[in-house]
Structures are given as structure tokens and as C-alpha cells.
Structure 1
Amino acid sequence: MYPHATGSGEGLSRAELLAAISLAIDLGLGQPMEHMLRSSLIATRIAERMGLDRQQRATVYYANLVGWIGCHADSHELAALFGDDIAFRADTYTVDMTGVPFLRLMLSHVGRGLPGWERGIRATAFLVTARSRVATLIQSHCSSAGVLSDRMGLDEQVAKALAYVFERWDGRGLPDGSRGDDIPVEVHIAHVADVVEVHLRTGGLEHAKDVVRSRGGSQFSPAVVAVFDHDAAAIVQGLLDIDVWTAALAQAPDRDRTLTAEESDELLEAMADFVDLKSPFTLGHSRGVANLVAGAARHQGLPPTDITDLYRAGLVHSLGKMGVSNRIWEKKEPLTTAERERVRMYPDLTGRILRRVGGLESVVHLAMKHRERIDGSGFPRGLTGPELTAPDRLLAAAEAYQRLLEPRPDRPPLDPRDAADRIREQARAGRFDAEAVAAVLAVADPGTSQRTPWPAGLTDREVEILRLVAQGRSNREIAAELFIAEKTVRNHVERVYTKLGVNNRTQAGLAAIDRGLVGSRSSRQ
């Protein structure tokens, strides 16, 4: 964590920051913002009618609010299977996620957008491995959700509940096939509330009741279905008309808790990790930008409050990327006009997610302008030099330089010297402020500092392989790139996982961020 200004940022609401995260989750689910907030209200009202105690109601609230947080860590894998990861998630609400209807839905997405012959081959291959591939995704989701929940400071009961989000009352869920009362009642309530919200909003109350009844005893707990069915009108009363943000926060278990400056930074850092996990190409990106821009601001002698605001803007600037499919972020070919327009809107989405969090106004104002350029060629507004402050220009330069250091689908990462040459060239062309670029490069210079051992006893080769695993590379792809046997890669990966205490790519990526092995501090120092 970059040192923050003393006393700066105190008073941020933990409940508001977590609610903002739920808005980003909504985007990744293909739902309008406030879906999870509204479903949390539904869940809370059901829990009250079922007589759950205070601790259980708190678990219901947050298990619902962030229940799908782990999904986004698997967007890379989901997009590889189904194309548009967001469209696929949105469509899953239309079916009971088991049996022939769900298989038909998955097959309708496999290879979407590819030529017919290639799509047919992929669909056939998927049929052979469907359950094992979906099970692997869900196991990764559940473990990722628990880790992210812990990082955001949620109660351990929430993390335990999130392990069951893909289980079902009838035992046909994953990853363990838990059934009935072996699944926490809080999760049974969250399952119903999540689906009710979508069908209430899209089809009305009677339609929502019909959907819930049809899944009672299979996907849903009969007891929860009975409570909802008996009092459905009262449970959903006003939900489509009220100020959902305010109403949901009034029900938050920790609605009166404010954070210290250090606690605020820790939660914002967890948000940064959450969004960067969406694509293996961006792992550690937001923390890298935050450290670079804060260092550059200090180098320029900016006031402590500006340094803190820039650090935090660096952490959260990418949050709106959750609303853009990985099919676009990971496309190797040039984007279509429609795809480019989708990308150009993500800074505005960042603003929409965060602007209602009290105390973050100056941070949001900065974050929304990180892709603007002083010659007017940036986005989303096409602002020009006079409209961009010195902090705006610093953040733009830091973000662009950090991006050059990272791999992208259409290019390998640039080494620091090539990245520096590239951004200096763009400054000479009038896109970036030359003083801002100089400040960023002054703190980014890798230098020739003394080598120190890698953390966790990792070897040079293991770190190299860890970084490739975190980028989503398969063992076969890593073997081809490093000119070693696939079995050798597998052995290295097993040792890396053992040393780090992890068991999947997402956890390995988070461990790499924590140990400074990706992002702006990923060189040995």
C-alpha cells in the first residue's frame, strides 16, 4: 500500500464501498446496476419472515450482495468457452441451471461468432467434456469468491456461504453436490432472491412467482419458496420504484461503520485486485498504476491530499471494465466500430459505479479522465489540454506507461526502456504532457538495484512460470514458449502452487500481486 496522507479519506463508508462493488458485479452479470442491491433487499425481507437471527441476516445480506464476485475472476476461461462472458451470464437467468435446458443454453453460446464448421467442432468437443469443464470453473469461482470476500473484510460466515452459491436443493449442483439442509439457509434465500429480482423486473410479480414455484424442490428450497409465495407482494413492495441505493444501505449490517484512511486504502486495493482479475493480461495493473502515479505526484511535489487522491484513482480507474466483455478485451484482431464504442464507455461506467460513495468525489473525477489526452484524441469526452489538470495528466501518463509494460492479446509486454521510448514519443506528438511523462519515468526507472531472493523460496524459472500461469496460459502453451516439456511445466506449476499455498490460476494471480511479482514492482530488486 502506498503511504497515504495523514487523516486523508477518513469517513468513507464501508457499506457504500461494498455496495459500489456490487454495481460492478451487476455489470459483469449482464444486469442493470442495482440488481444485487435490490435482490439483497428481497433476501433480507425473506430472512426476516423466516425468523433468522441478526448474524444470519447479516450473512444473507452480504452473501447476496457479493455472491457472484468470483465469477468475474473466471471471465477469461468463460469467454474462451462461450464467447461473450457477460451475455452468457445474463442468459443463465432464463433457465434452471441443470439438465437439458442448461446444456442447450451452453451449446448455444459455444463458439458463438465463429464460422459454422468451427462452431460445430467446438460444440462437439464441449459435449464430451461439459461437466468437467463447468465443474472446474465453478470450483475456481467458489475459491476465488472466498478469497475476495476475505480481502474485502467480510465476516468469515460470508466466505463460507459463498462456497455453496452453485449448489442446489436437489443435490445436482457443484462443486460438491451438497443438498437440502447441508446448504446454509442463507444461501437458499440468496438463490431465490437473485432470480426473483430479475424476473420481477423483466416480467412482473406473477411471472416471478411462477418461476420460483417451478424450481421449488429442485434448484430452490421448498421452505424458502413457500415463504416467498405466501407473502410475495409485500416482499417486493416498492422495489421497482424506490431509491434502491439508499434503501439497501439502510439495511446494511455495518451501515454506521466508517473507515480510517488506512482501512479505506485496503478496501480500495481489494477492489483493484477484483477488477484486474477479470483478464489475465491486466493482473496487477491497477496497483501498478496507483504506485506509479503516487510516486510521480510526490516527485513533482504535489500536496499530500493530491497524492492520496491519485493513488486511489489509480486503484479504481478500471472498475468500469467489468461492463465490457472479455471477448472484446482479449480480441487479437482490430475492434469493430461497435466494440470500440463499448470500450470508450468504460471510464463513464467507473464514474457511475463510484459517484454515490461519499468522500470519493475528487477520486472519481480523476479516475474518469485517465484515458483523455491533451490533444483531444482520448475518451470518453475528448477533453483537451486546458480541461486537464496536472493530476489528470499524471494519471493518464502513468496508466499508459503501465499498460505498455503488460502483455496484451495482440502484443507482448514492452521492456521498460522501450515503453519509456514509446511514451516519450507520444508526448512529443502532443498526446501526453511532457512533464507528467518525465515524472512517471523518473519513479519507474528500474535502475540496477541489488538483486534479492524471490519470495516464498521461488526460483527464477518458477517465477517465470507463475507469471505465465497468471496470464491464463495453459501448460502446453507455457511449454511451447519456454521450449521445455509439458510434464516439466506441470511439475513446476505444482511446486509453485505448493510454495504459495494456492490451487488455481486466480489464487496464483492474487499471490503474485501480493508478493510484487506482477505490476509496477515485478522486477527483482
Structure 2
Amino acid sequence: MAQAARAEGLALGRDADEAADHAACVALLRWSGCTANAPEFSVLMGDDVGGRDAMLSNGSAAEASALAGTLGDAALIHCEVAGEIARLLGLPAGIERAMHHLFETWDGRGKPAGLRGDAVPAVVFHVALAGDLEIFGRVHGLAAALRQVSDRADAKYPRALVALVTRHAADWMAALDQGAHEAIAETAGGAEDLGGTLAALDTPLELVADVIDLKLPWMTGLSRRVAEAAREAGAALGLDEPAQTRLHRAGLLHGIGRASVPNALWSDGRRLGEADRERLRLMPYWTGRAARRLSALQEEAELASFVDERMDGSGAFRGVAGAAIPLPARVLAAAAAWVSARTARPGAPALDADAARAALRDEVAAGRLDAQATDAVCGAEPSRATPAASPAAVTLSARETEVLARIAMGESNKEAAKVLGISPATVRTHLESAFRKLGCSTRAAATLKAMTMGLLPV
């Protein structure tokens, strides 16, 4: 999709290189907010993964319009988080604004703000049309895809853009099928590095981890805690500094595969069928596959994919045992088990340190976790280090921080009020103040921003 969107930008001929780079960046980041609204999609559609897939591949504009009215909150969450990610990455203002309006349409019926026509950043239409062409073409074939796109002219995107894309679509899609990025650029008039703006970024892995953890509110900060526990255990075992750094990075990446699993599988009291268990078993496979796309992190990706392996061969996804599991992977597995035991979730309160140690030592006795790695992980609580805030950082009061921390974990105002011993109205007042200071209007965006600014305890 990024290549096709870039080709559209180049073909327009106006400030072509900048337009093309902006289109590629927006296309690459377009779905970066999809973990943030997974809870809302899960409630609305039952299966946040399958439902999203069905919605994207459905060629019926009528059904998409019918859904639009019920997806307003989800669209706002997605766009606000995606815009925050663009800001945190230091991307140009035009890209950040486009991320805030990803689902606007030419006819003004889109989300989240209902902008119309030229009020919508042009790059939004380039990316939306490129995405529809790629998805519909893959699912229904190019001829059907062009019919679908044509039916949406002057509704979802401007007719002039549809006409341009129709002229070039066959060449662009053929190049995509061949994996020939250069051919797309040549077809559109010549270009250099795809996504040049993104290529220059040094994306902090903590941001990747925080976005991953937005998929389930109770997982807020979980990947950071796993990373810290793994690094400290590696230090206790005498691993050198590079090995400790790899463990920390692998801990930050270890949850990427959760994006492949519907939120409902973690629901309290849910009985898992064989298909459900298989999806959970393959989670670390998808973690490794996704993380390997980060070319500088090949070793960390491989290490992260071992997180669910067990010493007796009962783990996932490889089912390897004993010496086939490297020591750093054993440490990561123990760190993930420790943090999981210490994290409250629906239907399962967090264990205190002593109970968590007992639970992990039971796993050692059963032959599933490595004794040396487990002892290192259980030896001490991980540090609570958070990123240093910038001089212009937002300041929250102690009570605002407490309230936001409870809401970030998925509690309702009433639940947070009960825990904090205050009224729901007081919770709402502090939460509105925190949101106002952070410049956010959704829980997910406020959580992400507060985490990256070091305002929430990890």
C-alpha cells in the first residue's frame, strides 16, 4: 500500500517528491492506531481481528456506510493515537495532521471530524484509495477492485484521483505482485528511497512496546516491565552488556504477535476451543515474523519468538526443549512469566511477590522453566525506570496521575473511584483535567502520551 500511495503522489506532479514521501509515511503508519481501539472493536464486532479483516475486504460501500455511524469512537481513538505516534516520531506537521483524519471522506461523511472535500488533507485520499485498490485487488481481482473504487468516486475520494489511479492501476499492481518497488517509482515518474522520511527515524522501541500494549488495557506497561525484568536478570546472571541490551529489546518486542489474536480470547471465563488455542500458540511465531521486519533487530526478533517455549518441550511455537532453548531465551520466558503473575487481569488478581515466586518455582519443579533463569528473575523486583520528561513536559497532579493510571488499566470511573476512595464525579473531574493537559480526548491516546512522557508508573 505504501508503494502504491507513493506512486499516486508522484503521478500528481505537484511537489512530487514531498507528496510521495508523505503518502508513503502515512500509508506505513495508517494502521498504527489499530491496537488502541481493539477493545471497542471487540465489543462492537465480537472479534476485533476477524471483524476488521471482514470490514476492510468487504466491497460493499453500503455496508461500510452503515458501520461508519457505529465506529465513530473507534475512529477517533485510532486517529488520535496515530497522530500522537507521528508527533512522537517527529514527523512533519502535514503527516501528523493526516494521521488525525485518516478516515475522512470527500463527501464529508467520514470520521472522526466529518471534514469535506479540500478540507481533508489530500494525502488521506491517496492512501485510502491505494489501500482499497490493494485490498480489493487481492481479494476480488483488479477489475472488480476498479469497479469498487469507481463506485466510491466523489464519495470516499475525489473523482479526479480515481481517474488517475485507474490509468496506472494495472502497472502499479503488477509491480507490487513482483515485489518491484523500483518499477512502481519508474511508472509514476521516477523516485528514490521509498519512505525516505521514515528511513531516517530512530524509532524508540519503548514507543513500539507501548502501542502494542494498548490492545488490552490491563496490559498497559507490561512489555516495559518484561524488558526490565529480563535485563536485570541477565545482569544477575553475568551476561555482558550487549546481551543484556538484546534481552531488554526482545522484551519490548515480545508482544507484537498479540495483534493476531482477538481480544475475546483473554476474556474472563471464556472456554477456548482448539482453534483458539492454536491462535495463541502461534502468537510468538507472528512476533518473530513481524519483528524481523525491523532489519537492525534480527537477533532480538529471534529471541522474542522464544518467549513461550518451555524446558520440557510443552511450549510454543517450536516445541523445543532443554539445550535447544538458549539461556537468554530462558531468561525472557521466566521474565514474561514473572510479570504476567504480577499483573492483574480480568478474573485474575495480581499475585504479590512471594506468591509469584512460589508460582514460578512450581513451574521449575514441573520442568517448564529454567531454574537458574527463574532464580535470577525472582531475585529482585525490576526497576521502575521511565523515560526522562522533556523540559516542556506536562505536569499532572498526584491525584490526576492516580486517576489516569486506573483508567489507563481499563477501569471505569466507578471502579477507579472505589479503589481510590473518592466519588465517580471527582474521578471524572481529575480525568478531564489530565486529558486537557495532555491534549487528548481518549483513554488510549492519553495513556500513550503519559507513558512516553514518564508520567505513569510502569
Q: Secondary structure at the match of 1:218?
A: coil
Q: 1:472 to 1:97 in 2, by over 3 A?
A: farther
Q: Secondary structure at the match of 1:375?
A: coil
| Structure 1 residue 96: Cα displacement | 7.2
In structure 1, the residue matched to 2:388 is none
Q: Do residues 382 (structure 1) and 319 (structure 2) align?
A: yes
| Structure 1 residue 378: Cα displacement | 1.4
Query: Which of 70, 75, 100 pairs up with 1:163?
Result: 100
Paired AA for residue 71 in structure 1: C
Q: TM-score, normalised by structure 1?
A: 0.78
The answer as to whether partners of 1:228 and 1:235 remain within 8 angstroms in 2 is no
| Structure 1 residue 101: Cα displacement | 2.5
Query: Which of 478, 497, 501 pairs up with 2:416?
Result: 478
In structure 2, the residue matched to 1:42 is 4
In structure 1, the residue matched to 2:164 is 227
Q: Bigger CA drift: 475-484 or 323-332?
A: 475-484
Q: Do residues 254 (structure 1) and 196 (structure 2) align?
A: yes
Cα shift readout 1:375-427 (whole Å, capped 9, x = no counterpart): 22211122211111221111111111111121222312222332222212322
Q: 1:496 to 1:257 in 2, by over 3 A?
A: closer
Query: Which of 137, 140, 159 pairs up with 2:77?
Result: 140
The answer as to whether partners of 1:73 and 1:141 remain within 8 angstroms in 2 is yes
Counterpart CA distance in 2 for 1:356 and 1:253 is 15
The answer as to whether partners of 2:400 and 2:431 remain within 8 angstroms in 1 is yes
Cα shift readout 1:234-283 (whole Å, capped 9, x = no counterpart): 23223223367998997423289567xxx4xx532221111111111211
Q: Note the 1:33-182 alignment, pairs <5 A.
A: 39-53=1-15, 54-94=17-57, 101-102=63-64, 106=67, 131=69, 134-182=71-119
Counterpart CA distance in 1 for 2:58 and 2:315 is 41
The answer as to whether partners of 1:281 and 1:407 remain within 8 angstroms in 2 is yes
Query: Which of 301, 306, 309 pairs up with 1:372?
Result: 309
Counterpart CA distance in 1 for 2:333 and 2:437 is 37
How many residue pairs get matched? 443
Q: Secondary structure at the match of 1:71?
A: coil
| Structure 1 residue 312: Cα displacement | 0.8
Q: Note the 1:281-320 alignment, pairs <5 A.
A: 281-320=218-257
Counterpart CA distance in 2 for 1:202 and 1:390 is 43
Q: Secondary structure at the match of 1:80?
A: helix
In structure 2, the residue matched to 1:405 is 342
Q: Which is bigger in relative contact order (C-alpha 8 A, separation at least 6)?
A: 1
Counterpart CA distance in 2 for 1:514 and 1:203 is 41
Counterpart CA distance in 2 for 1:48 and 1:276 is 36
In structure 1, the residue matched to 2:357 is 420
Paired AA for residue 63 in structure 1: V
In structure 2, the residue matched to 1:7 is none
Q: TM-score, normalised by structure 2?
A: 0.88
Paired AA for residue 207 in structure 1: A
In structure 2, the residue matched to 1:340 is 277
Q: 1:78 to 1:394 in 2, by over 3 A?
A: same
Q: Bigger CA drift: 207-216 or 384-393?
A: 384-393
In structure 1, the residue matched to 2:153 is 216
| Structure 1 residue 446: Cα displacement | 7.9
Q: 1:501 to 1:208 in 2, by over 3 A?
A: closer
| Structure 1 residue 467: Cα displacement | 2.5
Q: Secondary structure at the match of 1:281?
A: helix
The answer as to whether partners of 1:46 and 1:189 remain within 8 angstroms in 2 is yes
Counterpart CA distance in 2 for 1:446 and 1:181 is 50
In structure 2, the residue matched to 1:442 is 379
In structure 1, the residue matched to 2:425 is 487
In structure 1, the residue matched to 2:390 is none
The answer as to whether partners of 1:96 and 1:215 remain within 8 angstroms in 2 is no
Counterpart CA distance in 2 for 1:496 and 1:320 is 31
Q: Secondary structure at the match of 1:175?
A: coil
| Structure 1 residue 318: Cα displacement | 0.9
Identify unmatched segments of 5+ residues in structure 1. 1-38, 107-129, 448-454
Q: 1:304 to 1:409 in 2, by over 3 A?
A: same
The answer as to whether partners of 2:75 and 2:112 remain within 8 angstroms in 1 is yes
Counterpart CA distance in 2 for 1:439 and 1:486 is 42
| Structure 1 residue 514: Cα displacement | 3.4
The answer as to whether partners of 2:396 and 2:455 remain within 8 angstroms in 1 is no
Identify unmatched segments of 5+ residues in structure 2. 186-190, 385-393
Q: 1:63 to 1:324 in 2, by over 3 A?
A: same
The answer as to whether partners of 1:46 and 1:235 remain within 8 angstroms in 2 is no
The answer as to whether partners of 2:207 and 2:452 remain within 8 angstroms in 1 is no
In structure 2, the residue matched to 1:191 is 128
Q: 1:332 to 1:471 in 2, by over 3 A?
A: farther
Q: Do residues 456 (structure 1) and 398 (structure 2) align?
A: no
Q: Note the 1:11-26 alignment, pairs <5 A.
A: none
The answer as to whether partners of 2:309 and 2:318 remain within 8 angstroms in 1 is yes
| Structure 1 residue 75: Cα displacement | 0.3
The answer as to whether partners of 2:265 and 2:272 remain within 8 angstroms in 1 is yes
Counterpart CA distance in 2 for 1:296 and 1:471 is 26
Paired AA for residue 302 in structure 2: H
Q: Bigger CA drift: 284-293 or 402-411?
A: 402-411
Q: 1:162 to 1:499 in 2, by over 3 A?
A: closer
The answer as to whether partners of 2:233 and 2:331 remain within 8 angstroms in 1 is yes
